């Protein structure tokens, strides 16, 4: 009788565990991206020295309150939400926009963002390739692309983590 009860319990346990949902396991960088929001702290345009001149660096986020308070939320479902978070720029878009999808590539060294078929963050022009991840920690994300209008230039985007 003991074997029969044990066999029934084992069969029930196996049967119930087979009905559980598949759990998505995130790696460390995916976890950092998807556990809160990211706020841009700097948008820097670097141009290399032309004809022996000096390099030029522009910082765009200073003084732009309507952009500086925005949050980018990378959801575990690979959706990217753009939360305009208070100060709205003159735009017809709603305060919360589902921007597109995101994916880490090349051993988590590149971030692909698909916005209506292009690689593009809000407030940036579209680029042809995924963004390079220069730094990604639990507190800071720095992205870079050389794929912009001037072939001798690089744009870097710096974000800080905001807890939900």
Domain covering 23-162 assigned CATH 2.40.128.280 in the classification: yes
Helix H or strand E segment including 4: helix 2-18
pLDDT at 16: 47
Give residue 146's pLDDT. Answer: 78
pLDDT score at 99: 83
pLDDT, residue 20, reads: 47
Q: Which residue numbers in the chain have pLDDT < 50? A: 12, 16-20, 22
Q: How far apart are CA 130 and CA 159, in angstroms?
A: 17
**Confidence at residue 110, expressed as pLDDT on a 0 to 100 scale:** 93
Q: Return d(Cα 54, Cα 63) in angstroms, integer.
A: 25
C-beta separation of 60 from 44 below 8 A: yes
Give the side-chain half-sphere CA count within 13 A for 45: 14
Could you give the CA distance from residue 37 to residue 54 in angstroms, rounded to a whole number? 36
Model pLDDT, residue 104? 92
> Please, are residues 115 and 131 in contact by the beta-carbon 8 Å criterion?
no
- Give phi and psi for 149, each to the nearest 5: -60, -50
Query: CB 84: neighbour CB atoms within 10 A?
Result: 19
5 phi/psi in degrees, rounded to 5: -65, -40
**How buried is residue 123: exposed, middle or buried, by Cβ count under 10 Å (0-12/13-18/19+)?**
middle
Q: What pLDDT, on a 0 to 100 scale, did the predictor assign at position 19?
A: 47
Tell me the two tokens of residue 31.
């976890």
pTM, whole model, 2 decimals?
A: 0.72
């Amino acid at each position: 009788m003991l074997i029969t009860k044990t066999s029934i319990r084992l069969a029930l346990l196996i049967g119930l565990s087979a009905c559980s949902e598949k759990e998505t396991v995130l790696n460390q960088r995916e976890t950092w991206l998807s556990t809160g929001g990211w706020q841009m702290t700097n948008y820097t345009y670097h141009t290399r020295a032309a004809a022996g001149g000096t390099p030029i660096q522009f910082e765009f986020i200073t003084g732009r309150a309507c952009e500086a308070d925005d949050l980018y939320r990378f959801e575990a479902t690979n959706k990217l939400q753009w939360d305009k978070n208070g100060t709205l720029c003159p735009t017809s878009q709603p305060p919360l926009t589902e921007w597109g999808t995101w994916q880490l590539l090349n051993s988590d060294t590149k971030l692909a963002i698909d916005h209506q078929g292009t690689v593009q963050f809000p407030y940036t022009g579209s680029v042809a390739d995924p963004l390079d991840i220069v730094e990604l920690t639990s507190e800071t994300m720095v992205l870079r692309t050389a794929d912009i209008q001037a072939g001798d230039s690089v744009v870097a985007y710096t974000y800080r983590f905001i807890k939900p």
